[in-house]
């Protein structure tokens, strides 16, 4: 999702993790038909693109899932195994670049099947009722069910193409068990429910990329700001997947060579109650967890307990990029707490 779209999208698209993200392990496991464009393309992380002159053996190459024109009764659907089980708060059925071949309508069902993929007799719940779809547009819908799902089924009526399916939710993690075991986990990882909830600037990339798995694939796969031309520094705020005690922080500037931050510092707080309205202002006064530390180009910087000034569990972090620049990945390793 581009920086501009982020402001137009509903709150759930900014606040929750896309459980249908291929990068996290989501997989399109069945489609009634994907003659024109492979179903898995619909789950790609990057925004859909359009190549005017690109064709393959089946016809026009499209970035998404596209079925052939239906000449019989019925409609097409696609089953997606989510990256992890979770509570779904909203979806985006995106028909970007599908102008004469989008489905006129679509709907979504959810299924809880933790021990494999749904059989023919599996129970599916309708979580998004049939809704009209238009040409080359994002179609957002709230999901009110508080059930946990492992799979979704996208129905399109009767046929056509969908560029991207985003399923925004909160991963269902057994934090109690993790806390009991006392194992170190990445409290900020996307797959664990970590999400970036605010930032000063994200001119060149999606800030949430810093919580994605693996290392950045290129300079575009990370959080990079414009060149700052006034006093101060750039920053972003992360809501951890669960409150925790931080034991180690890893800042990775992979691929950022002439544009990495000169220094990085991290502040943190345990935020109760209403979180969103005043986070920006309050974050300026949060306690320092990682004092200003020099960065290097294209490098993994590890800070263990000796480098950190941690006092108790935190729920939110403010990452300061001083004065500006790009960070590829951030890992916040620690133990979940039950406060």
Are the CB atoms for 338 and 274 separated by under 8 Å? no
- What's the pLDDT score for residue 275? 62
Rounded distance, CA 1 to CA 301, Å? Answer: 27
Per-residue pLDDT tens over the stretch 82-125? 999 999 999 999 999 999 999 999 999 999 999 999 999 999 99
What is the pTM for the complete model shown? 0.88
Token pair 């998004």 is at which residue?
Answer: 128
Q: Which of 8-12, 37-41, 301-305 has the lowest mean pLDDT?
A: 8-12
Pick 52 or 79 by higher pLDDT: 79
Residue 261 has pLDDT above 70, yes or no: yes
The encoded tokens of residue 243 equal: 């409150």
The encoded tokens of residue 188 equal: 């900020």
Residue 4 has pLDDT above 60, yes or no: no
Rounded distance, CA 299 to CA 196, Å? Answer: 22
281-288: Cβ within 8 A, 24+ apart: 283/198, 283/235, 283/237, 283/316, 283/318, 284/318, 286/316, 286/318, 287/311
> SS3 for 214-271, per residue?
CCCCCCCCCEECCCCCCCCCEEEEEEEEEEEEEEEEEEECCCCCCCCCCEEEEEEECC
Helix, strand and coil content of the chain, in percent to the nearest 5, comes to 10, 40, 45
How many residues are listed for the chain in this entry? 339
* Beta bridge partners of residue 40, listed in sequence order: none
Q: Please state, for a pLDDT cut of 70, what percent of the chain lies above it.
A: 96
Token pair 């494999």 is at which residue?
Answer: 116
Following CA atoms 307, 310, 209, 271 in sequence, which dihedral angle do they give, to the nearest 10 degrees? -160
Please state, as a whole number, how many other Cβ atoms lie within 10 Å of the Cβ of residue 240: 25
- What's the pLDDT score for residue 339? 56
Residue 284 has pLDDT above 50, yes or no: yes
- What's the pLDDT score for residue 142? 97
The domains of the chain, with CATH numbers, are: 3-171 (2.60.120.260), 175-336 (2.60.120.260)
Token pair 């959810």 is at which residue?
Answer: 110
- What's the sign of the alpha-carbon dihedral 276, 277, 281, 287? negative
Per-residue pLDDT tens over the stretch 182-193? 889 999 999 999
Per-residue pLDDT tens over the stretch 20-56? 999 999 999 999 999 888 999 999 998 999 888 888 8
Positions of E strands within 61-210 = 65-66, 76-94, 105-111, 125-132, 138-142, 148-157, 161-162, 164-171, 185-186, 195-199
Per-residue pLDDT tens over the stretch 217-250? 999 999 999 999 999 999 999 999 999 999 999 9
Q: Which residues contact 166 (CB under 8 A, 6 or more apart)?
A: 13, 18, 20, 21, 91, 92, 94
DSSP code per residue over 7-21: HHS-HHHHHSEETT-
Per-residue pLDDT tens over the stretch 272-282? 866 666 888 89
């Amino acid at each position: 999702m581009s920086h501009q779209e982020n402001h137009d999208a509903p709150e759930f698209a900014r606040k929750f993790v896309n459980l249908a993200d291929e990068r996290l392990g989501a997989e399109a496991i069945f489609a009634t038909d994907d003659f024109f464009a492979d179903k898995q393309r619909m789950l790609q992380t990057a925004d859909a693109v359009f190549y005017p002159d690109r064709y393959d053996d089946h016809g026009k190459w499209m970035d998404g899932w596209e079925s052939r024109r239906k000449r019989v009764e019925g409609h097409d659907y696609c089953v997606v195994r989510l990256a992890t089980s979770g509570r779904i708060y909203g979806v985006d059925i995106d028909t970007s670049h599908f102008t004469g071949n989008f489905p006129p309508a679509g709907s979504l069902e959810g299924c809880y099947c933790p021990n494999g993929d749904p059989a023919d007799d599996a129970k599916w719940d309708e979580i998004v009722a049939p809704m009209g779809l238009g040409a080359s547009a994002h179609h957002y819908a709230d999901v009110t069910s508080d059930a946990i799902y492992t799979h979704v089924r996208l129905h399109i009526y009767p046929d056509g193409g969908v560029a991207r399916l985003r399923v925004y939710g909160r991963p269902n993690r057994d934090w109690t068990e993790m806390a009991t075991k006392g194992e170190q986990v990445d409290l900020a990882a996307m797959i664990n429910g970590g999400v970036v909830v605010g930032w000063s600037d994200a001119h060149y990339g999606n800030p949430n990329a810093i919580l994605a798995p693996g290392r950045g694939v290129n300079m575009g796969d990370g959080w990079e700001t414009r060149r700052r031309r006034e006093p101060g520094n750039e920053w972003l705020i992360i809501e951890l997947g669960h409150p925790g005690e931080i034991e180690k922080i890893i800042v990775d500037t992979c691929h950022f060579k002439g544009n990495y931050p000169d220094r990085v510092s991290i502040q943190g707080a345990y935020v109760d109650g209403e979180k969103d309205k005043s986070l920006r202002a309050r974050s300026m006064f949060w306690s320092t967890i990682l004092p200003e530390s020099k960065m290097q180009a294209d490098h993994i910087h590890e800070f263990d307990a000796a480098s950190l000034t941690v006092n108790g569990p935190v729920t939110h972090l403010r990452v300061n990029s001083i004065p500006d620049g790009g960070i590829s990945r951030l890992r916040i390793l620690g133990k979940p707490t039950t406060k």
